[in-house]
Structure 1
Amino acid sequence: MVQPFSQNGNSERSLKIVRAACPHDCPDTCAMLVTVEDGQAVRVAGDPDHPFTRGFLCTKVANYEQRTHSPDRVRTCLKREGKKGEGRFREISWDEALDEIASRFRELAESSEGAETIMPYSYCGTMGLVQSQSMDRRFFYRLGASQLDRTICASAGAAGYKATIGLTIGTDPERFHDAKLIIIWGSNTISSNVHLWPEILKAKSNGAHIICIDPRRTRTADQSDEHIAPLPGTDAALALGLMHVIFAEGLEDKDYLERYTTGAAELRSRAREYSPERVAAICGLEAETIKRMARLYATMKPSVIRINYGLQRHAGGGMAVRTISCLPAITGAWRDPSGGILLSTSGTFPLNYQALERSDLMPERTPRTLNMSQLGDALTSVDDPPVRALYVYNSNPAAVAPDQAKVIEGLERGDLFTVVHEQFMTDTADYADIVLPATTQLEHFDLHKAYGHLYLVINERAIAPLHEAKCNSEVFRLLAERMGFKEECFKDSDEEIARQAIASDHPALRGITLEALREHGWMRLNLPETFAPFAEGNFPTLSGKCELYSEMLEAQGLPAVPEFIPPNESKQSAPKVAHHYPLALISPAAHAFLNSSFANLPKQLRQELRPFVEINPVDAEARGIVDGDVVRAFNERGSCTLHAVVTTRAREGVVVSPSVWWNKLSPGRVNINQLTSQKLTDMGGGATFYDALVEIEKQEEGMRN
Structure 2
Amino acid sequence: VDGVDALRDAARDWSPERVARVTGIEADRIRQLARQLAGTERAVVYGRIGLCNQEFGSLASWLVDVVNILTGHFDTPGGAMFPRPAAWTITAQPQPGLEGGLAEFGRWRTRVRGAKEVLGQVPVSCLAEEIETPGEGQIRALITVAGNPVLSTPAGHRLDEVLPKLDAMIAVDLWLNETTRHADVILPGLSPLEQPHHDDLILMFAINSIANYSAPVFAPDPDRPQEWEILIRLTGLCAGTPAQDVDVAAIDDGFFDYLCFTQGLDGATIRGHYQSGGPERILDLTLRTGPFGDRYGENPDGLTLAKLKAQPDGINFGPMVPQVPDILGTTDHKIRLAPQYLLDDLPRLARRLDREPDELVLVSRRHLRSNNSWFHNVPALMKGRDRCTLLMHPDDAARRGVATGDTVAVRSSAGRIEVPVELTDAIKTGVVSMPHGWGHGLPGTRLSVANGSPGVNTNILSPPTFLDEPSGNGALNGIPVTVAPAGSG
Structure 2 length-normalised TM: 0.73
Match of 2:143 in 1: 391
Q: Distance in 2 between matches of 1:312 and 1:296?
A: 25
User: 1:321 Cα deviation (Å)?
Assistant: 0.8
The question of 1:559 aligning with 2:312 is answered no
**What's the offset of the Cα at 1:678?**
4.2
Assess if the C-alpha contact under 8 Å between 1:316 and 1:565 holds in 2.
no
Question: 5 Å matches for 1:220-259?
Answer: none
Equivalents in 1 of 2:316, 2:186: separation in Å?
A: 38
CA–CA distance in structure 2, aligned partners of residues 467 and 632 of structure 1: 52
Partner of 1:675: 461
Unaligned runs of 5+ in 2: 97-107, 111-119, 237-241, 254-276, 295-301, 442-449
CA 1:478–1:545 in 2, change beyond 3 Å: closer, same or farther? closer
- Compare the two structures and name the one with the higher strand fraction: 1
Q: What is the DSSP-based 3-state SS (H/G/I as helix, E as strand, rest coil) of the residue aligned with 1:645?
A: strand
> Does structure 2 retain, via aligned residues, the 8 Å contact 1:276–1:290?
yes
In structure 2, C-alpha distance between the alignment counterparts of 1:264 and 1:348, rounded to whole Å: 34
Mapping of residues 44-123 of structure 1, within 5 Å: none
Match of 2:174 in 1: 423
Q: 1:604 aligns with which of 381, 389, 395?
A: 381
Letter aligned with residue 172 of structure 2: H
1:403 and 1:435, CA in 2 relative to 1: closer, same or farther beyond 3 A?
A: same
Asked if 1:496 corresponds to 2:281, the answer is yes
Please tell me the residue identity of whatever aligns with 1:689: L
Separation (CA, whole Å) in 2 of partners of 1:501 and 1:369: 25
Q: Compared with structure 1, are the counterparts of its residues 424 and 567 closer, same or farther at alpha carbon in structure 2 (3 Å cutoff)?
A: farther
For residue 507 of structure 1, report the CA deviation from its aligned partner: 4.0
| Matched-pair contact (CA < 8 Å) for 2:125–2:153 | yes
Q: Tell me the amino acid that sits aligned with residue 305 of structure 2.
A: L
Rate the CA distance shift 1:382–1:533 in 2: closer, same or farther, 3 A. farther
Q: Distance in 2 between matches of 1:574 and 1:381?
A: 36
Tell me which residue corresponds to 1:451: 204
Number of the residue aligned with 2:271 = none
1:431-470 to 2 correspondence within 5 Å?
431-449=182-200, 450-453=203-206, 454-465=209-220, 470=225
TM-score (norm 1): 0.52
Q: Tell me if 1:513 matches 2:264.
A: no
- Alpha carbons of structure 1 residues 655 and 469: separation in structure 2 relative to 1, 3 Å: farther
Q: 1:691 to 1:455 in 2, by over 3 A?
A: same
Identity %: 22
User: Gaps spanning 5+ residues in structure 1: where?
Assistant: 1-260, 359-365
Q: Which residue of 2 aligns with 1:653?
A: 430
Shift of 1:320: 1.0
Q: Distance in 1 between the 2:5 and 2:411 partners? A: 45
> What residue number does 1:541 align with?
330
Counterparts of 1:580-595 in structure 2, within 5 Å, are 582-595=359-372
Cα shift readout 1:292-334 (whole Å, capped 9, x = no counterpart): 3223212222112332121011222112111110112212223
What is the number of residues matched between the two proteins?
415
How much does 1:640 deviate?
Answer: 2.1
Q: CA deviation at 1:473?
A: 0.9
**Superimposed CA distance per residue, residues 148-187 of structure 1 (whole angstroms, 9 cap, x where no aligned partner):** xxxxxxxxxxxxxxxxxxxxxxxxxxxxxxxxxxxxxxxx
Amino acid at match of 1:586: V
Q: 2:3 is matched with which residue?
A: 263
1:472 and 2:194 aligned: no
Q: Deviations over 1:448-474 (max 9, x none)?
A: 222321323323221123798654213
Partner of 1:225: none
Cα distance change of structure 1 residues 336 and 571 upon mapping to structure 2, 3 Å threshold: closer
Kindly report which structure 2 residues correspond to 1:162-181, keeping only aligned pairs within 5 A, or say none.
none
Residues 610/531 of structure 1: CA separation in 2 closer, same or farther (3 Å cut): closer
Secondary structure in 2 aligned to 1:566?
helix
Select the residue among 410, 419, 423 that pairs with 1:642: 419
Q: Distance in 2 between matches of 1:499 and 1:559?
A: 43
| Deviations, residues 201-260 of structure 1 (Å, cap 9, x unaligned) | xxxxxxxxxxxxxxxxxxxxxxxxxxxxxxxxxxxxxxxxxxxxxxxxxxxxxxxxxxxx
The 10-residue stretch of structure 1 (506-515 or 609-618) with the greater mean CA deviation from structure 2: 506-515
Given the superposition, is the C-alpha separation of residues 681 and 478 from structure 1 closer, same or farther in structure 2, using an over 3 Å criterion?
Answer: same
Query: How far 1:630 sits from its partner (Å)?
Result: 0.7
What is the aligned counterpart of 1:289 among 9, 26, 29? Answer: 29
Give the direction of change, closer, same or farther, for the CA distance of 1:595–1:301 in structure 2 (3 Å limit): same
Instruction: Give 1:593 shift.
Output: 1.8
Do the aligned partners of residues 635 and 334 (structure 1) sit closer, same or farther apart at CA in structure 2, a change above 3 Å counting? closer
Change (3 A) 1:446 1:573: farther
